[in-house]
Structure 1
Amino acid sequence: MTVKLSISVPDDVAAYLQSSGNASAAVTEAVRRVLPETRRARQREAAQAYGEFLRKRTPEQVETDRLFIEASNDIALRDSAW
Structure 2
Amino acid sequence: MTVKLSISVPDDVAAYLQGRGNVSAAVTEAVRRVLPEARRARQRAAAQAYGEYLRGLTAQQLADDRALVESSNEVALRDAQW
1:66 deviation in Å? 1.0
RMSD over equivalenced CA pairs, Å: 2.8
The size of the alignment, in residue pairs, is: 60
Structural mapping, 1:29-44, within 5 Å: 31=31, 35-44=35-44
TM-score (norm 2): 0.53
TM-score (norm 1): 0.53
Partner of 2:77: 77
Distance of 1:57 and 1:76 partners within structure 2: 26
Partner of 1:54: 54
Percent identity between the aligned chains? 59
Q: In structure 2, list runs of 5 or more residues that go unmatched.
A: 1-8, 18-22, 26-30
Larger radius of gyration: 2
Q: In structure 1, list runs of 5 or more residues that go unmatched.
A: 9-30
